[in-house]
Amino acid sequence: MPTSLTIAEAALATGLTTYTLRYYEQIGLIDPVPRRSGQRIYGDPEMRLIQFVLRLRGTGMPMRDIQEYVRLRRLGETPESIIGRGDLLERHAMHLRGELVTLTETITRLDEKIALYRSIYGADGTPAPVAGNAAESNVDATPTPRRKHA
Amino acid sequence: MPTSLTIAEAALATGLTTYTLRYYEQIGLIDPVPRRSGQRIYGDPEMRLIQFVLRLRGTGMPMRDIQEYVRLRRLGETPESIIGRGDLLERHAMHLRGELVTLTETITRLDEKIALYRSIYGADGTPAPVAGNAAESNVDATPTPRRKHA
DNA sequence: TGTTGACTTAGAGCGCACTCTAAGACGTAC
DNA sequence: GTACGTCTTAGAGTGCGCTCTAAGTCAACA
């Protein structure tokens, strides 16, 4: 049988609050949810859209862009909509590829720094056997990316 | 010769504003910057710390944790400090590895969706040759990570 | 000597993304 | 028939991370 959730159930399923679900609908971050005697019913399509939107949000896509994506989706299968959605997602994917690079770099650097700290006192807290005091040979330094709240 | 910047120069070099630099110092996100006749002088160690802090911030480490890291650093090379810093960075590195996974997944899904859109109208805007209407076969759906402002 | 740029403390304002309350109205189920 | 969950609109409050202003002081440079 198809999914058919109340707002409270949908909240539980998504990890959002009912407030936030209504709020997202209000600002057009998700499509208007169909009602049955006035109450919102979250079916499969609704839940799938929410999950996708959350994935975009989770990877730092600006709310504005998500709103624009959902707006385009509502236009249906017109060229403008299809092309627009493709472009939006492509731009975001490109952005994410960039993040992937800095993320990988940062992890590498952190691992180096951690190794340095561990070479002085092991992860267990005991002083390491060899190792001169290489600490504060400053593994700091590097470039300067950014991430919004994301 | 060693770096020796005024606050305005440091701002330029980091992409921050002078307000933000003073603010970061005030909230302990960076160490107190040495003064010469009352004015802040940003040398190599200061700039290196700022860059590192920005890298952490850029990958979404909470300000609280960065503050804690810098606090530990100020304690010097005591076991508590070294171990604490190692732990902090290790936790963050772990977190980033998780992000790396969802990021990779998301990019894959986006690429699929983009390919779908492009199969209807090419990236150039022209209708594609073959391809039945596979659109809205709903490539949506998936899990639900989070990212703070990062 | 005057301009520039920095300093201080204190505090207001902003944009984002929620988060919650109020108050009154329904519909459904026990 | 009453309790529960939902609905609506409107608006206040929160936390984060800045961002900027005010007002007065001080030091360096041309």
For residue A104, give how far its alpha carbon lies from the nearest alpha carbon of chain B (Å): 8
Q: Which of residues 53-82 of A touch strand C (CB under 7 A)?
A: 57, 62-63
For the beta carbon of residue B144, count every other beta carbon within 10 angstroms: 16
pLDDT, chain B, mean: 85
pTM of the model: 0.83
Cβ-based contacts of B125 with chain A (< 8 Å): 79, 83
Which of A:110-149 have CB within 8 Å of B? Answer: 110-111, 113-114, 117-118, 120-121, 123, 125, 127, 133, 135-136, 138, 140-149
- Chain C bases under 7 Å from protein CB? 5-9, 16-21, 26-28
pLDDT value for A121: 83
pLDDT, chain A, mean: 86
Model confidence over A90-135: pLDDT tens digits?
A: 999 999 999 999 999 999 999 999 999 999 987 666 776 654 444 4
Query: Is a pLDDT exceeding 50 seen at residue A3?
Result: yes
For residue A6, give how far its alpha carbon lies from the nearest alpha carbon of chain B (Å): 19
Element (H or E) spanning A103, and its range? helix A79-120
Model confidence over B3-54: pLDDT tens digits?
A: 889 999 999 999 999 999 999 999 999 999 999 988 999 999 999 999 999 9
Burial degree of B51 (CB within 10 A; 0-12, 13-18, 19+):
middle
Element (H or E) spanning A36, and its range? strand A35-36
| Average pLDDT value for residue range B52-61 | 94
Out of A11-20, A49-58, A140-149, B64-73, least confident range: A140-149
